[in-house]
């Protein structure tokens, strides 16, 4: 029997198909990991944006003289006037803030810390701090 030099053998085709399947499965896993990381990064960006907005608003209120010191644990618990809920990008986030007037500045400076988190995702949060000049 003469063997033809054309075409592939069944073993060669099987090995090539097996390699293709292994590579495709590895690539599919990378897509899943990439999607999870992308969602986490988007969530982080939304929380950072909300924290920056709250700092801007509280800084403006401090300059106008409209802020009062908060309870010491206002970042850990809900207190009226020291937190709110905000929607951004289709998700709901909780914002809490802590305000203090350091005595070494004679009440002319407000220290502000804002915490943003998703209530349904414990442990994932953003804390952002700033100093603001306090008005009359």
Question: CA 20 to CA 16: how far, in whole Å?
Answer: 6
pLDDT given at position 46: 93
What pLDDT digit, counting tens, does each position of 79-107 carry?
A: 999 999 998 778 899 999 999 999 998 88
Does residue 109 belong to any structural domain of this protein? Answer: yes
At residue 96's C-alpha, the angle toward residues 36 and 62, to 5°, is 130
| Residue ranges making up the domain that contains 33 | 10-133
Q: With respect to residue 15, please indicate whether it lies within any of the assigned structural domains.
A: yes
Does residue 4 lie in a domain region? no
- Residue 3 domain-assigned? no
Q: Is 56 left (phi over 0), alpha (psi -120 to 50) or beta?
A: alpha
Q: What predicted TM-score, i.e. pTM, was given to this entire model? A: 0.77
Average pLDDT value over all residues in the chain: 90
Residue 5 falls inside a structural domain = no
The per-residue DSSP string of 29-48 comes to HHHHHHHHHHHHHHHHHHHH
Q: Residue 66 falls within a domain, yes or no?
A: yes
In angstroms, the CA 95 to CA 87 distance is: 10
At 50-82, the pLDDT tens digits run: 999 999 999 999 999 889 999 999 999 999 999
> β-strand 109-117 against 125-133: which pairing, if any?
antiparallel
């Amino acid at each position: 029997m003469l063997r033809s030099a054309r075409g592939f053998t069944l073993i060669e085709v099987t090995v090539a198909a097996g390699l293709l399947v292994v590579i495709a499965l590895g690539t599919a896993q990378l897509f899943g990991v990439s999607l999870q990381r992308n969602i986490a990064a988007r969530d982080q960006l939304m929380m950072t944006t909300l924290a920056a907005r709250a700092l801007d608003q509280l800084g403006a209120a401090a300059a106008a003289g409209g802020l009062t010191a908060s309870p010491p644990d206002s970042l850990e618990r809900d207190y009226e006037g020291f937190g709110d809920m905000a929607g951004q990008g289709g998700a709901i986030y909780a914002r809490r803030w802590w305000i203090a007037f350091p005595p070494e500045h004679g009440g002319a400076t407000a220290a502000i810390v804002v915490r943003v988190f998703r209530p349904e995702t414990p442990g994932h949060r953003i804390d952002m701090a700033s100093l603001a000049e306090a008005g009359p």
